[in-house]
Amino acid sequence: MKHIVIGVDGSPASQQAVQLGLSLAASLGAGVAFVHFSRLAEGVYREDPDDGPSQQRIEEADPVLREAAEAARAHGVPARLILQESDMIAPELAGVAEGLDADLLVVGNRGRSEIADVVLGSVSHELLRMSTVPVVVVKAGAAKS
């Protein structure tokens, strides 16, 4: 395993997904890419329209990605930060994982009930249905590794 994509949103389940993904990456010698969907992306990309923002600029602008990057450094895992804006999170996240030739996609579950997930649909359940990359869903409150 060489590449793990971790979807982050700052929720408790997402934070646990970061820890699990980083633990796997550290034990397997893999790198990670953290992906966050935020309205901050428009402003950050507007400032650097030609080459796109640097990893440092993304980390400075986005507190969720900054926290994930700090965790990666603490684990000694190389990390890439990806900041995007989209209302189509599951398809976009699946596309990022496929485009990066990821071996695994790790996301948190926001902890909705099964009935709510069926009615509303959640990003994690949509990813399980559509991703061509294996998906690990970390449930909020799951045991930490």
In a domain, 72, yes or no: yes
Q: How many domains does the chain have?
A: 1
In a domain, 144, yes or no: no
In a domain, 50, yes or no: yes
| Cα 108 to Cα 3: distance, rounded to the nearest angstrom | 18
Closest among 65, 92, 90, 89 to 79, alpha carbons compared: 65
Q: Model confidence over 36-90: pLDDT tens digits?
A: 998 888 888 777 666 778 899 899 999 999 999 999 999 999 999 999 988 889 9
Report whether pLDDT(91) > 70: yes
Positive or negative torsion for Cα 20, 6, 133, 130: positive
In a domain, 33, yes or no: yes
In a domain, 37, yes or no: yes
CATH code at position 133: 3.40.50.620
In a domain, 67, yes or no: yes
Q: Model confidence over 97-133: pLDDT tens digits?
A: 999 999 999 999 874 445 544 443 488 889 999 999 9
Task: Look at 68 and 141; give whichever has higher pLDDT.
Answer: 68
In a domain, 145, yes or no: no
Domain enclosing residue 124, as ranges: 3-139
Q: Which two tokens stand for residue 86?
A: 């989209």
* pLDDT for residue 42: 82
